[in-house]
Amino acid sequence: MTLDAICTTRGLLGHILLNRPKALNALTLPMVEVIAPTLAAWAADPAIKAVVIRGAGDRAFCAGGDVRAVWDAGLQRKRGEGAGALTAAFFAGEYRLNRQIKHFPKPYVALIDGITMGGGVGLSVHGSHRVTTEKTLLAMPETGIGLFPDVGGTWFLPRLPGRLGLYLGLTGARITAGDLAYACIATHHSRSEALDDLERDLETALSSAPDANSAVEAVLGHHAATPDEPTLPAHRDAIDRCFDADSIEGIFARLENEGSDWAAKTLASLKTMSPTSLKVTFEQLRRGAELEFDDCMRLEFRMTQAVMDGHDFYEGIRSVLVDKDRNPKWQPASLDAVDPAFVARHFAPPADGDLTFPG
């Protein structure tokens, strides 16, 4: 039997391999259930000095959460078939793991070599070291599947420079290494073909260095390369102007008035997203700016339970991952028809209680 996540030790280095290459290493509950207890043990184990996480295959670090499985369970839950427990268990497990990474007391090095979306972002951004390559393509695309930028998006997106977080979280824009460095999402850059050597050098350096963080920094510095030119700086003023409005409608109006190609494309892209998701995400990131990390994760869990009771998540997964027609029929279909009471429900305690954290 092959495990979908393989945790091994290499000397003083803990190593996590996301091992579903055919599914772009999309994160499943069984993977979470392998990784979480291992990370907890490594946090307490003096024989582990640092952790590396990497994806198997040459295409992806991790394309997201296994939302297809959540979709199946959510449909059962809607039909009252009871098996919908996974919808709560998956998000709870994933968010608790995000929190473990955020509070992990040793260097945590994510090698985000390839596609990194949604759940994959949650396995990387909260760690101390985020290494991109020329193959990195990262996005928080959840508004396009009727969800919202979760896995700690509530925490990290409002803390990016200017209005970049709102821009990335609403549009789902896909960005590469240069932009990830510019947005302070990545900390280091290396060449994809150097990563095997980099991992070996980490193991060697940790075995002799008194200080794990200095050893990790030295190895990442030794393998440093120059990323592609960032594209965001050219649009940064427009992003900060347009996404500084006090509502989604206000952002739409500012993009309309902007009069540039970039603004027209950005507006067109936003108009393909779930109107409910856009409004929910706007409120999520407004609140997140003021919340502690753990409260962000509790809030996201609340939000998932409202999403599972709604329409657009099912339609989004259908259109993107099941039928792949990329033609979702959102309900409601326009911003003005989104019920403020339904948006508000995303931020209220769920019927089965709030997310709790062990310890």
Q: CB-wise, 107 or 316, nearer to ligand QUE?
A: 316
Compute the least distance from the CB of residue 51 to ligand QUE, in Å. 23
Confirm whether 150 is a catalytic residue: yes
3-state SS of the chain: helix, strand, coil percent to 5? 55, 10, 35
User: Least distance in Å: CB of 281 to ligand QUE?
Assistant: 13
How many Cβ atoms sit within 10 Å of the Cβ of residue 270?
20
Q: Which is nearer to ligand QUE, 5 or 145 (CB)?
A: 145
Active-site annotation holder among 65, 127, 169, 288: 65
Q: Which of 150, 179, 199, 203 is catalytic?
A: 150
Nearer to ligand QUE among residue 187 and residue 284 (C-beta): 284
DSSP string, 70-109: HHHHHHHHHTT-STTHHHHHHHHHHHHHHHHHHT-SS-EE
Q: How far apart are CA 7 and CA 122, in angstroms?
A: 18
CB of 109 to ligand QUE, least distance (A): 23
Report d(CA 283, CA 340) in Å as an integer. Answer: 11
Task: Tell me how far, at minimum, the Cβ of 96 lies from ligand QUE, in Å.
Answer: 18
The total number of residues shown for the chain amounts to: 359
Token output for 272: 């393909």
Tell me which residue has its CB nearest to ligand QUE: 64
283 is catalytic: no
Helices (H), 164-292: 164-171, 177-182, 195-208, 212-222, 236-242, 248-258, 261-270, 275-288
- Residue 310 known to be catalytic: no
Residue number, 171 or 187, with CB nearest to ligand QUE: 171
Candidate list 113, 142, 283, 300, residue with the active-site label: 142
CA gap 46, 147 in Å, rounded: 39
* Contacts with ligand QUE, residue ranges (CB under 6 A): 23-24, 26, 63-68, 117-119, 141-142, 144-145, 320-321
Active site residues: 65, 119, 142, 150
